[in-house]
A and B are shown apart, each in its own frame.
Chain A
Amino acid sequence: MSTGTEQAAPSTAATARDAVIAVRGLVKTYPAGRGRRGAATPAVRASDGIDLDIRRGEIFGLLGPNGAGKSTLVRQLTGLLRPDSGAIGMLGHDLVRHPERASRLIGYLGQESTALDELTVSLAAETTGRLRGLDARTARAERDAVLAELGLTELAGRAIKRLSGGQRRLACFAATLVGERQVLVLDEPTTGMDPVARRAVWAAVDRRRAEHGATVVLVTHNVIEAETVLDRVAVMDNGRVIACDTPAGLKVLVADEVRLDLVWRDEPPLHLPEVAALRPAAQISGRRWTLRLPQARARAVIAEITGGQAFAALDDFTLATPSLEDVYLALGGRQKGLVKA
């Protein structure tokens, strides 16, 4: 393989051969705002030196709570936002220098659907295909195929804004798939969807991966979805990638811990020393206490609580193996907002 391009951009060009997307040292700062009545907002470093390699055919996740910098990263990958510094290589193209090429490499599903809201499902898909450069006949054929694949044929004549939230999302996803692309960037694609629609989305993604090696970048704050569909996941917090591995690989980091949830009927019985001792370590949310403990200690706590007076005050308890949320917290993630659904 030629090495002719490595002198000028060694980091992106070299990895571009193995990685479909290579991100190096990406920094984006939103300048400080001047609010009204002197209430100034400080500058925000939404991307704070991000490095990533995303391989061909992967479903790669960006996981983090709101404000972690996922959408800012995605907007830079899709050419919507210019980074202050750093490099983005995608399939051998330099997207910092040529952001306009992103639209010819990526199918992007954003969070907003206002551009399509007043169109019918069918026309939204067809128009998007036309604007991806398909001729009229191909756009119509792909539209019909995608709508059938996602089970949207019966809704084809309905205006998108008259659909339920999940159906609307699915219709926008359909538009994203018309006009084949090697990379799909999906920003929270399954928000509001019922299980049937979710399955349709993941089946469609899998088909494109199997048939032509499509690579998928998925933004999510849903840990259950992240654990079930992702090949690898970058955990983000405050504009940085704090860990990047397979979901199983990340969970090894906290493998010796388990999560114990205690739900009290009413006020927790703090007069009992075994309960009072747990309180400093508990993450309290209403009547629910969440504790992350070594396995042996968790077993001992359960024996104490269920065997003593505290049991009468207990409504429910669960013991679970760690999730990606536990990984996020163990890695020093500071914000709440990950969803378990």
Chain B
Amino acid sequence: MSAAAPVVPGTTGATPGTVPAVRADPAAAPLAPRARLLPALGAVYRAQLSRARVARIPLLFVATFQSVGIMVMLRGVVDGGDAEAARAVVAGSSVLVVAFVALNLLAQYFGQLRASGGLDHYATLPVPPAAVVLGAAGAYASFTVPGTIATAVTGCVLFQLPLVNLWVLAAVIPLAGAALAGLGAALGLLAPKQELATLFGQLGMSAALLLGVLPAGNMPAPIGLVRDLLPSTYGVEAFARTFDPHPDWVMVGADLSVCAAVGVVSLAAATWAYRRAACR
């Protein structure tokens, strides 16, 4: 195509109601508009959410059942009165639901989509990559809401912890969800094989389980370091702090900020990975 051909600046990002006039060749046909980020994100989110009804409900039940089961099991060795351990168990088990769904299941979903050629569908539509990744990540984070709340309430009752600050889940679920879903999406899209995507997703969830539900104080230093590297840890810590009679809200905010920052970075990485996987 002619180097001098005018690609009209600023017309590639479609503005509402206009057909962008990218005309490299004077005889070139006008291009259909692109889908804009927010409507496309909404459409992907809605479609992904509808998949829950068809395919995801048994898995969401398993995710919740697993967390409640762990709490019941640990109730045998952790006293309701043992404040630090009880808080860690309840917070860790609740965030584990998010790790199961947003990290593990999303990694598997994108791994499967990539391996089967399903990404071609999105790649041949004029949709911003971020809309596909954020829509799917948002939907998977949303899937975790009922299970996380059910686990947290059950845990508070089981370990005699106060229910008053459970509203903080309204911040913990989306932010830990963003961090873990971004990580899951990136793993699923970067893994060279579908089996590896499944493996990474499972390992991530196992790490969140093993390092999340026990108090950090008793862990050896190297394991504590690994725990600090895991994004779910900050969701667990933020949630656990709110069981204190006088929660340190600054620290809660700091922990949630780490989740938010990891979410931004991992979702950006996942968007990059999507671009890379969609066009070779």
Q: What residues of chain A have their CB less than 8 Å away from a CB belonging to chain B?
A: 1-2, 4-5, 7-9, 12-13, 16-17, 78-82, 91-94, 97-106, 108, 110-116, 118-120, 123-124, 126-128, 130-133, 135-136, 159, 161, 179-182
Contacts and interface: CB of A to CB of B under 8 A. Distances in A.
A181 B55 CA distance: 32
Nearest to B123: A80
A136 B39 contact: yes
* Dominant secondary structure of chain B at its interface with chain A: loop
Contact of B32 (A17, A78, A133): A133
Contact of A105 (B3, B32, B117): B32
Contact of A1 (B22, B27, B32, B280): B27
* B-side interface size class: 35 or more
A331 B113 CA distance: 39
Contact of A99 (B28, B47, B279): B279
A299 B170 CA distance: 84
A133 B34 contact: yes
Given A114-B116, A115-B113, A131-B40, A182 B29 contact: yes
A105 B260 CA distance: 38
A22 to B, nearest CB: 11
29 contacts: A1-B27, A4-B26, A5-B5, A8-B4, A9-B1, A9-B2, A16-B28, A81-B280, A82-B280, A92-B27, A94-B1, A101-B22, A103-B127, A105-B29, A108-B120, A110-B117, A110-B121, A114-B116, A115-B121, A119-B54, A127-B46, A130-B35, A130-B40, A130-B43, A131-B44, A131-B126, A132-B125, A133-B36, A180-B32
Given A1-B27, A93-B24, A112 B118 contact: yes
A115 B1 contact: no
Interface of B: 1-5, 14, 22-29, 31-36, 39-40, 42-44, 46-47, 50-51, 54-55, 112-113, 116-127, 131, 278-280
B138 to A, nearest CB: 15
A115 B126 CA distance: 16
Contacts of A136: 39
**Which of B4, B113, B120, B127 has the largest number of chain A CB atoms within 10 A?**
B120
Contacts of A112: 116-118, 120-121
B127 A131 contact: yes
A104 B50 contact: no
A130 B39 contact: yes
A13 B125 contact: no
B1 A110 contact: no
B36 to A, nearest CB: 8
Given A91-B28, A98-B24, 10 more contacts: A13-B2, A92-B28, A94-B24, A103-B123, A104-B126, A118-B50, A120-B50, A127-B44, A131-B126, A131-B127
A98 B1 CA distance: 10
B32 A179 contact: yes
A5 B26 contact: yes
B124 A8 contact: no
Nearest to B47: A127
A116 B24 contact: no
Given A13-B2, A80-B124, A133 B280 contact: no
B202 to A, nearest CB: 21
Contacts of A114: 112-113, 116-118, 121
A91 B279 contact: no
A104 B33 contact: yes
B117 A103 contact: no
Contacts of B31: 93, 101, 104-105
A92 B280 contact: no
A341 to B, nearest CB: 24
A197 to B, nearest CB: 20
Nearest to B128: A131
Nearest to A101: B31
**Which of B23, B27, B55 has the largest number of chain A CB atoms within 10 A?**
B27
Contacts of A16: 25, 27-28
A110 B121 CA distance: 7
